[in-house]
């Protein structure tokens, strides 16, 4: 109380901190940010919650919905603390950024009209997408594949480029086998889609969804997008498609492969997955692969060995002497192919498949 008086606070309204039990602290520590968001959403009224959810993308809706079901058994104490944290966070933030995108769009449309505003907004907010393409994000892979399988490969390439990478990879399964290489070649070659092409694409979407929007120059695709889509495809499908892309454009195929999940990316894989991978690799192949690997990747594997095993492994690797770079690359590719198969079967997790790589 003395401290409260010293700080100029009314002792009668100073809230004493209640010690948190070990069980409650554990419950809070295990909560994800999505689960905390789910708690706040559940505390809102139905209308307010619905107003928030309509601003989320499909993946966020699915994630939040699952979390809302999962937090049903959360203790009241944990709910109170989550709410207190939320209120404290809001108090420390400005409301200047809330709703800024909608505000800017409405102001420009009122001032310039729909057509001129669309041109300006297309430059300052290049991430905005057309209504037709936005609806595609809510469809399942089979439905998208069946809808676009007969469209021109360029149209298909644009559509795959705006989908989530794993969904785009699944859509490939429902497209004609003979068209897949050309489609991926076009995805990798995409940079800017001109208004005329967007108008054509909107026309196709309009037929399906009865929607339209103003045309604007948009950026889609590229080698990075193609690589991320291929990261999510099954190994057999990847082999088939990349073989076809190589026949169409060998240089482009090399760029896609270079941007895909590589041996160096294994430094970001969790220890359990590394251990699973090591149990399925011959020691000689791993030694060869690590000969030309970055120190971070090498340490990732060595740290998952016992001290005795590590010493023996390093001695044996040193005894191998100089190794040709081509042999190192072949070993690394073989290990990555095995890692992809283990990932496809769910035996390990390749963190970053489809995400930005370091």
Tokens representing 34? 């999505």
Q: Is residue 357 part of a domain?
A: no
Q: What percentage of the chain has pLDDT greater than the value 70? A: 70
Question: What does the chain come to in residues?
Answer: 358
Q: Is residue 140 part of a domain?
A: yes
Is 297 found in the same domain as 206? no
Q: Is residue 207 part of a domain?
A: yes
CB 183, CB 158: distance < 8 Å: no
> Using one digit for the tens of pLDDT, what is the confidence trace for 56-73?
777 777 778 778 877 777
Whole-angstrom distance between the N-terminal and C-terminal Cα of the chain? 52
- What are the CB-based long-range contacts (under 8 Å, 24+) for 338-342? 338/277, 338/280, 338/281, 339/266, 339/277, 340/235, 340/238, 340/261, 341/235, 342/276, 342/277, 342/280
DSSP state of 262: -
- Burial track 204-226 (b if 16+ CB lie within 10 A, e otherwise): bbeeeeeeebbbbebebbbbebb
Domain boundary among 91, 108, 141: 91
Domain boundary among 37, 67, 91: 91
Q: Is residue 160 part of a domain?
A: yes
Q: What percentage of the chain has pLDDT greater than the value 90? A: 4
Is 145 found in the same domain as 39? no
Is 313 found in the same domain as 234? no
The total domain count for the chain is 3
The residue assigned the tokens 């892979």 is 141
> Using one digit for the tens of pLDDT, what is the confidence trace for 278-312?
999 898 999 999 988 888 889 989 999 999 998 99
Question: What's the mean pLDDT when you consider all of the chain?
Answer: 75
More confident residue, 104 or 267: 267
- Enclosing domain of residue 320: 261-344
> Using one digit for the tens of pLDDT, what is the confidence trace for 217-270?
445 567 777 887 887 777 778 778 888 888 888 888 888 877 777 788 888 888
SS3 283: helix
Is 245 found in the same domain as 150? yes
Is 287 found in the same domain as 241? no
pLDDT at position 355 is: 41
CATH number for the domain harbouring residue 316? 1.10.220.30
Q: Is residue 104 part of a domain?
A: no
pLDDT at 138 over 50: yes
Domain boundary among 28, 63, 91: 91
Report the C-alpha dihedral over residues 48, 53, 56, 61, rounded to 10 degrees: 150
Is 269 found in the same domain as 210? no
Is 248 found in the same domain as 134? yes
């Amino acid at each position: 109380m003395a401290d409260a008086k010293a700080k100029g606070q009314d002792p009668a309204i100073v809230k004493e901190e209640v010690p948190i039990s070990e069980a409650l602290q554990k419950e809070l520590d295990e909560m994800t940010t999505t689960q905390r968001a789910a708690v706040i959403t559940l505390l809102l009224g139905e209308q307010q919650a619905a107003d928030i959810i309509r601003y989320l993308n499909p993946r966020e809706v699915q994630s939040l919905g699952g979390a809302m079901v999962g937090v049903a058994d959360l203790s009241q104490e944990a709910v109170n603390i989550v709410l207190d944290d939320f209120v404290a966070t809001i108090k420390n933030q400005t409301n200047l950024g809330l709703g800024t995108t909608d505000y800017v769009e409405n102001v420009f449309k009122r001032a310039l009209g729909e057509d001129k505003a669309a041109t300006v907004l297309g430059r300052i907010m290049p991430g905005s997408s057309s209504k037709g393409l936005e609806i595609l994000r809510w469809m399942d892979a089979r439905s998208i594949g069946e809808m676009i399988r007969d469209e021109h490969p360029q149209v298909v390439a644009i559509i795959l480029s705006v989908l989530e990478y794993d969904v785009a990879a699944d859509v490939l399964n429902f497209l004609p086998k003979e068209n897949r290489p050309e489609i991926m070649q076009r995805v990798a070659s995409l940079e800017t889609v001109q208004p005329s092409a967007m108008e054509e694409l909107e026309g196709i979407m309009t037929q399906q969804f009865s929607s339209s929007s103003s045309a604007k120059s948009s950026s889609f695709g590229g080698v990075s997008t193609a690589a991320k889509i291929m990261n999510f495809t099954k190994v057999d499908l990847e082999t088939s498609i990349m073989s076809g892309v190589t026949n169409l454009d060998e240089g482009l195929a090399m760029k896609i492969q270079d941007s895909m999940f590589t041996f160096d990316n294994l430094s970001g894989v969790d220890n359990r997955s590394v251990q699973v991978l090591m149990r399925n690799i011959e020691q000689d192949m791993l030694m060869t692969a690590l000969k030309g690997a970055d120190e971070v990747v090498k340490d990732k594997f060595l740290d998952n060995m016992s001290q005795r095993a590590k010493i023996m492994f390093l001695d044996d690797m040193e005894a191998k002497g100089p190794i040709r770079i081509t042999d190192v690359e072949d070993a690394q590719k073989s290990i990555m192919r095995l890692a992809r198969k283990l990932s496809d079967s769910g035996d390990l997790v390749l963190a970053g498949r489809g995400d930005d790589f370091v």
